[in-house]
Structure 1
Amino acid sequence: MNIWRIWLLMATFWGMLSVPAQATDNAGWIWVDEPLLHGVWGNSDDGGKSFWGYDEYRTDGTFKSWGKLPDGRDYEAEGVYQNSFDGGQKKSCAVFLRLSETVKELTGYAFCVIVVAIDSAHYTFQDQESGEITTVYRMPASFSSPAADAR
């Protein structure tokens, strides 16, 4: 691996380089910007009629998730994410860094999803491990996270 490729890998990981890449081959992973991902998405089990959780993807590569677990307990989580083009597929990978007590066991958990489709209203992805396909729904711009409400 040459010095420029090492620099590129380090720069993109630490957010020092934010140039969108257009990837047309599968010769290794390339960091890609996905501006449509930025914002708040609602998790729903009924096609977007009601929501049990939310994920906010920020432009600085961080995310915040919050909502209710199936048993009714509240949860909050924060971490970092990175989008890449790898093996001919667009992927989004994330690591949980700070979590509420109800989901503390996920601290440090890393996962990747394959981006199936994304537009201004829907984001569909496939879990890389389980193969499960999920669609989440864009929340209105006026919608804010609990952290934004506390400011």
Structure 2
Amino acid sequence: MGGGCFWCLEAAFIQLTGVHSVISGYAGGAGENPDYNSVCSGSTGHAEVVQVHFDPAVIDYRTLLEAFFAIHDPTTLNRQGNDVGTQYRSVIFTHDAEQAAIANALIAELGVDRIWPDPIVTTVLPAPTFWPAEAYHQNYFANNPHQPYCQFVVGPKAAKLRQVFAHRLKH
């Protein structure tokens, strides 16, 4: 899933019971072995994404998607706050037809519920090759809690997930 900066998504998802790991990386662009600088330049077409490994007996895919929509704005095309560019697009990469159906159904429901004043622009696509980001991007928030971006952007998104999904948090 991609919904802006991968640090935000990773910091949020890793808090959920049933989530074993969250890997920050890149997907959906051209070329092999993208790196942070090339992705941020916008030249590769890759999005910053996270790969979430979870136990479906503990947390289901729809709940993960509900968390995804709770922590980012799915109505801004190629943007999350001050992060602008196609690498910050809202995208769900699915691994099978069932995941695609669940994602599309949830997007339709959220659109009917009009939670946001603007239409949802999140795309649902088959999962392309996932390229793990550089080591320093992994567990970024946990390793850099005092970094200003973490305090002002990542922290509030992780806190929002804790508030909305309090009943699903790891102890």
Scaled by the length of structure 2, the TM-score of the pair is 0.29
Higher relative contact order (CA 8 A, sep 6+): 2
Q: Whose strand proportion is higher, 1 or 2?
A: 1
Scaled by the length of structure 1, the TM-score of the pair is 0.31
Computing the radius of gyration from Cα coordinates, the structure with the larger value is 1
